[in-house]
Amino acid sequence: MASYYDDHSLEDPFKARKKTNNSYGGSSFNPDLSHFMPREETESTSSSPSSRSPSASGPDVGDFRRLAEMFGAFREREEPLGDEAHQEFLDNLITQLMDEAGASGKHGPPPAAKSFIRDLPFVPQKDLKRDEACIICNENFQENDSKAGVTKLPCKHHFDRECIVPWLELHNNCPACRAEVPSDDPEWNRKRREAELAKYAAEAEIDQDWMYS
Ligand SMILES: [Zn+2]
Ligand SMILES: [Zn+2]
């Protein structure tokens, strides 16, 4: 069966996601989410002041919940259209966000670097396919002239700027393919440097074996 992604020579984010060893990938939609986002209170919740203490610098539980609510609204809007693959994609993101909210953001990836978010490129309409949609909200880019514009991540996935920025403020990866982007988090950068050094060391060892064999 040909899918949207086959027709548009894009990497299918749903297939790509399954390749990654993502602990959230296999979990099903958490019906308890409705508990956190009662329909009548969604607006007042999202406009309520942050509960973050003035001294804390990282994202707080409310940031994860608010983004889960935003994605939940996309999902609800889409319900009658029945794009099951996209609904499952959103369900997995919502489940991840609620898990992260439960762990106060300690278990997930760090936020993307502030400079990375600031310097996200603008993708002009001419570079977009005619019926291409934002991976997060599933709305056609051509029908959204009034929005803040379209951007792309280094993995080349396209998003509405207003859909991807709140995600990047909480995660330094692409929500579709999980490719990592830079972070300001010192712990994440330290681990990344260590992994790179280990890789170079392993490569140097292979070179040596080759030279003396
Ligand atoms: Zn969008
Ligand atoms: Zn991607």
| pLDDT 10s digits, 47-61 | 334 333 333 467 889
pLDDT surpassing 90 at residue 43: no
Cβ count within 10 A of residue 18: 12
Query: In a 3-state reduction of DSSP, which class is residue 55?
Result: coil
Q: Which ligand is nearest to the CA of 136?
A: 1
CA gap 114, 116 in Å, rounded? 5
User: How many angstroms is it from 208 CA to the middle of ligand 2?
Assistant: 36
User: How many angstroms is it from 66 CA to the middle of ligand 2?
Assistant: 22
31 contacts: CB under 8 Å, gap ≥ 6: none
Which of 124 and 2 is assigned the larger pLDDT? Answer: 124
Which of 82 and 24 is assigned the larger pLDDT? Answer: 82
Q: What do you get for the CA distance between the two ends of the chain, in Å?
A: 51
Q: Which ligand is nearest to the CA of 11?
A: 2
Compute the mean pLDDT over every residue in the chain, rounded to the nearest whole number: 78
Q: Which ligand is nearest to the CA of 160?
A: 1
User: How many angstroms is it from 197 CA to the middle of ligand 1?
Assistant: 37
Q: Are the C-beta atoms of residues 177 and 12 closer than 8 Å to each other?
A: no
CA gap 62, 49 in Å, rounded? 10
| CATH class of domain segment(s) 4-182 | alpha beta
User: How many angstroms is it from 12 CA to the middle of ligand 2?
Assistant: 10
User: How many angstroms is it from 201 CA to the middle of ligand 1?
Assistant: 42
pLDDT at site 80: 73
- ipTM > 0.85, yes or no: yes
CA dihedral 49, 34, 133, 24 (to 10 degrees): 100
CA gap 73, 75 in Å, rounded? 5
Which of 46 and 179 is assigned the larger pLDDT? Answer: 179
User: How many angstroms is it from 5 CA to the middle of ligand 1?
Assistant: 17
Per residue in 151-205, pLDDT (tens digit) is 999 999 999 999 999 999 999 999 999 999 999 999 999 999 999 999 999 888 8
CA gap 151, 157 in Å, rounded? 8
Q: Which ranges of the chain does DSSP label H, i.e. alpha helix?
A: 4-7, 13-19, 33-36, 42-47, 61-78, 84-102, 114-118, 161-168, 186-212
pLDDT surpassing 50 at residue 115: yes
CA gap 122, 149 in Å, rounded? 7
- How many CA atoms, within 13 angstroms, populate the side-chain half-sphere of residue 86? 22
User: How many angstroms is it from 213 CA to the middle of ligand 2?
Assistant: 41
Q: Taking CA 167 as the corner, what is the angle to CA 95 and CA 6, rounded to the nearest 5 degrees? A: 80
Q: Are the C-beta atoms of residues 128 and 66 closer than 8 Å to each other?
A: no
